[in-house]
Structure 1
Amino acid sequence: MEKFIVSARKYRPQNFSTVVGQSHITTTLKNAIANNQLAHAFLFCGPRGVGKTTCARILAKTINCETKTAEGEACNTCNSCVSFDNGTSLNIHELDAASNNSVDDIRSLVDQVRFAPQAGEYKVYIVDEVHMLSQAAFNAFLKTLEEPPPFAIFILATTEKHKILPTILSRCQIFDFKRITTNDTVEHLKEICDKEHITAENAALHIIAQKSEGCMRDSLSILDKIVSFTGGQLNYSNTLEHLNILDEDYFFKLLQYAIDQQLTDALLLFDTINQKGFEGDTFLEGLLEFFRNLLVSKDAKAAMLLDVATDFKNKYIQAATELSASWVISAINCMNDAAINYKQSRNKRLSVEMALIKLCYLNQAIELSNDGEGLSKKKRVDAVKPIAFKGIQFIKLPTTTAVVNAPKNTSAQVNTQPEATLTIEQEKQPLIPTKTAATSNTTTSNTTTKKPGLGSLSKIRERLLAESNQNNQSIALTNEHLQEAWQLYIEKLQEQKKHPFVTQFKAANVQLTDENTFNIITGSSFQQKFIEQERSGLINFLQQRFNNKFLKYNLIVEETMDEEQPVDETKALTKRQQWDILVSKYPLIKQFRDRLNLELDY
């Protein structure tokens, strides 16, 4: 039985013309060979599986070929080509720098460079994965790489160009390999399938090419694996099943559910996808790419950016014509937010389902309309009109406002004003609406005209006027009343658990100045700050207590640092009082503070 050889080795290119997707490099190398302008050192860099080592071997075989073709290719029939194909050529040396990266390995290679080839014109040294060499190995390689013998050619290959020393880069002719396009990969897979008598659908080969991400070696490995799985019959469905890839038909179904607002069907479809082993992030990424393809399909010029099978391009274009660009953009934003927040979510399934709910009700949740000034978001109301109420006018109640005359008077004189605004007490009573604007009130000197149908309205007005006259009586400000109100406010502070304020208010003294003014005397600026913080609450309390809006007070600070004041040991001392007692007992402390320019926190 013939031994099986994987396609990546069996169909490795043997000439420059069979290299896939790197025509810019193969053409340059063939012209350099034809014009005898070969450099002594090459650096092939690029992604994995794109043909770097293959091109290095073809170059080594071609420059030693005894009978080159007219196109500058190796003949594959001379002794040099045959020995090269059989792996017995002495003119080519390959070194894997990933496992031979020490200084001794490079020195051994440099020692071999001194010997001229026994047959052929050039000795070629291929160093694969050259970025794995150590710093010392690079330094040992520099001199030989810069000035090798005329018969020695070095070809370095790497996937990580940025890890190579600049001194190495400057001594090489650099060739950048690119990823193989999906179309080139599909065409190459078709050729291999024809040679191997494999039946394969174009959509299946396109899925393989997409999965390989521009790596020809990976695509050939996937092809061998699926051929073994399907018995040589490749179709779209079994390729998706083997590669565990989400079918785009799922996304087209989900799109239709979202447009028709069939939330239940959308959630059941996601449950089916989840049961097949697809994680939520894979689903969101696939759905996000699906909406991106829809947006690209909106414009015929951008449709060339679609990296999908030919069978699906028409399907994308047809679906895109039925959707507005604003809806697709909103869907992309919704899915992008869900994909970003997926990793941080604790309930990952719920986060995906919430994204599907937003998607299904996207038309109702947000509407993008062009109002002439660009796109603007508008919330949609489901055809619900607000109830139209008739205008309601209110009856203005006549009232009296209390005016406090001179401060000496203990009782306020009442002055009636027709059609005055409501007082605070009257605002608590509900206003009485009238049905028509024709109704009006006429008030003259504390008398109201009764309107038919209003019942006991006149009695209510009389009661309000009586309460207003009673409540507007001010209380005379005396020392006795002032001390009583001061103690009541201290009790109020205790109820509010403002203990520092209680202490300072107890330490302060109040003195009556006139019938509308009194003084608050404090012993320090520290105590003054506490009382000042309660200014609004204190003045409102006292004005309501005495029913006098003209009531005010002055805050006076009388500091007594030099005189020794008796200290009430039953009361809690303030920090300033504690400092004064400490300085009086120990005068050196004050001198210590003055010399160091210390500031006290009190």
Structure 2
Amino acid sequence: MLHLSRGVIMDKFIVSARKYRPQNFDTVVGQQHITTTLKNAIKQNQLAHAFLFCGPRGVGKTTCARILAKTINCESQTPDGEACNQCQSCVSFNHGSSLNIHELDAASNNSVDDIRTLVDQVRFAPQAGRYKVYIIDEVHMLSSAAFNAFLKTLEEPPPYAIFILATTEKHKILPTILSRCQIFDFKRITTNDTVEHLEDICKKESVNADKASLQLIAQKSEGCMRDALSIMDKIVSFSNGEISYNNTLEHLNILDEDYYFRLMDFMQQQDLSSAMLLYEDINRKGFEGDLVLNGMASFIRNLLVSRDEKVVALLDTVESFKEKYISTAKQVSAPLLISALNVLNESEINYRSARNKRLHVELTLIKLCYLQQAMQITLDENSVSKKKLTESKGALAFRQIQPVAIKPIAPKTKSTNTQAPAAKLTISEEPPAKHVETPVTVATPPPTTEARLAETKTAGGKKISSLEKLRKQFKQIEPEKEDIPLEETAVLEAWKKFTQVLKDNRNPAAQSFSLATVKIVDANSFYVYTSNPLENRFVEITKNEAAEFLKEALQNSQLQIFNVINPNRQVQEETIEKPLTAVDQYKKMIEKYPLVQQLKEKLKLELGR
């Protein structure tokens, strides 16, 4: 037996999500497009027999279903389509004793038998009120057999039955169910709507809360009002009835954005040591590495959003940091932010597989601190005008040489003479000079000025060793030979010789060369015509080898070969020896030996292919 010392029974605590659950359409937060449609349908008496409420968790799907069920059975509705909350039907509904509303949790009642039991109940008309409303929550959990058992009743229910299905995963519902329902898509509740609702509840509960802390709670809830109310209840208990920004950060395990602003400053200054010390401070406070990486990525995303005034409304942060975001975003380039996002995204993906979590985060910080320098190096390498590494070095020291006077050689003219023009080399000698190493600029000489690179006599008066080499080179120079224009007879003869070379080497292209025809285009080129792509392919593969052979054979260094497929070409049969087929060989054989045909017929032989 439980004894109470003072005889006082404490009131049972009710969480805010239940205590402040909306009781009519006007109190539903953030779903005006749904509530307006439902109220108009009630006023105009155009209610569907089946509704499907789908959307994220905690946005008011089940709440709107209950309000709709209460409103359509209200005995005295208001002119704007709301329940009066005073009639017997509304009072019984508010106390949970209404017999016209049935709720089924499809997560735990998803079998065929549960649906059959529900279908059996639909046959009975309501004892009081106009409609019997069946609310099936988490309807996507029903099995396929249960869905099929529910189809007929859902398509043609009695006039007094209304079905309201609620789900968070619309894609899991069968299309046959979707086609029988009027679908309402609920959206996530915005941060501003959540903050306003929390402020209203704090006033009613006499809780002191600053707006920055409520904005943090709204961001953490991610559009779910139920989560926001649960978080607020926990912080109220934690902080003894007063919600502050620091208490909210500590309770929600959120890293203050001021740390990210400091880390961004260290990134821009390439101050790795300060960044490592800052992460050490964060690590000592108990924040995990993946939380730091995710928070930094969200911070850089907010900086990107803050760069453009058109999308600055997407900035998801507390009011006190908005101006700081905008001012910081103007100091950082967009390529740097995008590259940092890529680094953080890759690091966050690989965080789980890393053995040393702390080292993994520190490596990411190293990349971020030197990211700007790495981008500058990449841009310099990809630029049109690259800086040479040797520009900063001094010029090399060379031994000063004496000038060499060379009499210019007359330009060569094309002729058939076999003797080279005479060349005279005059060297002016000067007294030997001291060797002074001075930096000089060396230019690459053209090929025709090799004679100018000859060395002078040394200080001892020895003979120049390179002089004899120059004389030998001039003796070995031969005049250029003129190219002989192509002639059809010479080309065909050289072509046959090259074909024979291919046959001797057992090259498979020999047959294609023998079947091809040649047509001269001009003095330096000719076409090679083939009848099919296979022959053309063999000619193409061996064309370079053929060109080298024909250049030497025809004495034409500018020779060019073009191969073309021409299936309509006519080739003289006598000039081309085509291989005989088995049938042709047999015909020739019986012409010479008639008895072979008789032998074939007696033995019933057939020709092979």
Measured against the shorter chain, the TM-score band is 0.5 to 0.7
Q: Whole-Å Cα distance in 2 between the matches of residues 266 and 294 of structure 1?
A: 19
Q: Whole-Å Cα distance in 2 between the matches of residues 437 and 130 of structure 1?
A: 86
Q: Does 1:55 align with 2:55?
A: no
Q: Whole-Å Cα distance in 2 between the matches of residues 174 and 451 of structure 1?
A: 103
For residue 330 of structure 2, the aligned residue among 306, 312, 321 is: 321
For 2:319, the equivalent position in structure 1 comes to 310
For 2:394, the equivalent position in structure 1 comes to 388
Q: Does 1:451 align with 2:453?
A: no
Normalising by structure 1, what TM-score?
0.64
For 2:44, the equivalent position in structure 1 comes to 35
CA positional deviation for 1:344 = 4.5
Given that 2:396 and 2:440 are in contact with CA atoms closer than 8 Å, whether structure 1 keeps it comes out as: no
Q: Whole-Å Cα distance in 2 between the matches of residues 248 and 138 of structure 1?
A: 49
Pairing 1:459-478 to 2, within 5 Å after superposition = none
Q: Whole-Å Cα distance in 2 between the matches of residues 335 and 8 of structure 1?
A: 36
CA positional deviation for 1:323 = 2.5
Q: Does 1:235 align with 2:244?
A: yes
Q: Whole-Å Cα distance in 2 between the matches of residues 287 and 185 of structure 1?
A: 25
For 1:591, the equivalent position in structure 2 comes to none
For residue 121 of structure 1, the aligned residue among 106, 111, 130 is: 130
For 2:180, the equivalent position in structure 1 comes to 171
Q: Does 1:103 align with 2:112?
A: yes
For 1:137, the equivalent position in structure 2 comes to 146
> Alpha-carbon deviations, 1:223-267, whole Å to 9, x = none?
101110001111111111111111111101111222233221110
> Alpha-carbon deviations, 1:369-393, whole Å to 9, x = none?
999xxx9679999x99602315746
Pairing 1:532-551 to 2, within 5 Å after superposition = none
CA positional deviation for 1:69 = 1.1
Given that 1:368 and 1:377 are in contact with CA atoms closer than 8 Å, whether structure 2 keeps it comes out as: no
Given that 1:204 and 1:234 are in contact with CA atoms closer than 8 Å, whether structure 2 keeps it comes out as: yes
Q: Specify whether residues 86 and 259 from structure 1 end up closer, same or farther in structure 2 by C-alpha distance, changes over 3 A only.
A: same
For 1:331, the equivalent position in structure 2 comes to 340
* Equivalent position SS for 1:308: coil
For 2:298, the equivalent position in structure 1 comes to 289
CA positional deviation for 1:319 = 1.3
Q: Does 1:261 align with 2:270?
A: yes
For residue 207 of structure 1, the aligned residue among 201, 205, 216 is: 216
Given that 2:397 and 2:437 are in contact with CA atoms closer than 8 Å, whether structure 1 keeps it comes out as: no
* Equivalent position SS for 1:148: coil
For residue 102 of structure 2, the aligned residue among 83, 87, 93 is: 93
Q: Whole-Å Cα distance in 2 between the matches of residues 172 and 437 of structure 1?
A: 88
* Equivalent position SS for 1:367: helix
Q: How many residues align?
A: 431
Given that 2:16 and 2:233 are in contact with CA atoms closer than 8 Å, whether structure 1 keeps it comes out as: yes
Q: Whole-Å Cα distance in 2 between the matches of residues 91 and 97 of structure 1?
A: 19
Structure 1 letter corresponding to 2:180? R
Q: Specify whether residues 136 and 304 from structure 1 end up closer, same or farther in structure 2 by C-alpha distance, changes over 3 A only.
A: same
Structure 2 letter corresponding to 1:389? A
Q: Does 1:271 align with 2:273?
A: no
Q: Specify whether residues 194 and 368 from structure 1 end up closer, same or farther in structure 2 by C-alpha distance, changes over 3 A only.
A: farther
> Alpha-carbon deviations, 1:136-181, whole Å to 9, x = none?
2111111111111111111111111111111111111111111111
Given that 1:365 and 1:379 are in contact with CA atoms closer than 8 Å, whether structure 2 keeps it comes out as: no
Q: Does 1:158 align with 2:167?
A: yes
* Equivalent position SS for 2:17: helix
> Alpha-carbon deviations, 1:83-116, whole Å to 9, x = none?
0000111110111111111111111111111111
Given that 1:395 and 1:434 are in contact with CA atoms closer than 8 Å, whether structure 2 keeps it comes out as: no
For 2:16, the equivalent position in structure 1 comes to 7
> Alpha-carbon deviations, 1:517-570, whole Å to 9, x = none?
xxxxxxxx9xxxxxxxxxxxxxxxxxxxxxxxxxxxxxxxxxxxxxxxxxxxxx
Pairing 1:575-594 to 2, within 5 Å after superposition = none
CA positional deviation for 1:459 = 10
CA positional deviation for 1:134 = 1.5
CA positional deviation for 1:61 = 0.3
Q: Whole-Å Cα distance in 1 between the matches of residues 126 and 206 of structure 2?
A: 43
For residue 73 of structure 1, the aligned residue among 82, 85, 90 is: 82
For 2:157, the equivalent position in structure 1 comes to 148
Given that 2:107 and 2:138 are in contact with CA atoms closer than 8 Å, whether structure 1 keeps it comes out as: yes
* Equivalent position SS for 1:94: strand
* Equivalent position SS for 1:296: helix
Structure 2 letter corresponding to 1:14? Q
Q: Which runs of 5+ in 1 are unaligned?
A: 399-416, 420-431, 439-443, 466-524, 526-602
Q: Specify whether residues 322 and 152 from structure 1 end up closer, same or farther in structure 2 by C-alpha distance, changes over 3 A only.
A: same
Given that 2:397 and 2:440 are in contact with CA atoms closer than 8 Å, whether structure 1 keeps it comes out as: no
Pairing 1:497-536 to 2, within 5 Å after superposition = none
Q: Whole-Å Cα distance in 2 between the matches of residues 139 and 262 of structure 1?
A: 65
What is the identity percentage for the equivalent residue pairs of Structure 1 and Structure 2? Answer: 67
Given that 2:73 and 2:131 are in contact with CA atoms closer than 8 Å, whether structure 1 keeps it comes out as: yes
Q: Whole-Å Cα distance in 2 between the matches of residues 70 and 368 of structure 1?
A: 71
Given that 1:368 and 1:378 are in contact with CA atoms closer than 8 Å, whether structure 2 keeps it comes out as: no
Q: Specify whether residues 352 and 144 from structure 1 end up closer, same or farther in structure 2 by C-alpha distance, changes over 3 A only.
A: same
Given that 2:54 and 2:168 are in contact with CA atoms closer than 8 Å, whether structure 1 keeps it comes out as: yes
Structure 1 letter corresponding to 2:240? G
Given that 1:206 and 1:309 are in contact with CA atoms closer than 8 Å, whether structure 2 keeps it comes out as: yes
Q: Whole-Å Cα distance in 2 between the matches of residues 283 and 380 of structure 1?
A: 39
Given that 1:288 and 1:335 are in contact with CA atoms closer than 8 Å, whether structure 2 keeps it comes out as: yes
For 1:250, the equivalent position in structure 2 comes to 259
Given that 1:93 and 1:124 are in contact with CA atoms closer than 8 Å, whether structure 2 keeps it comes out as: yes
Pairing 1:489-500 to 2, within 5 Å after superposition = none
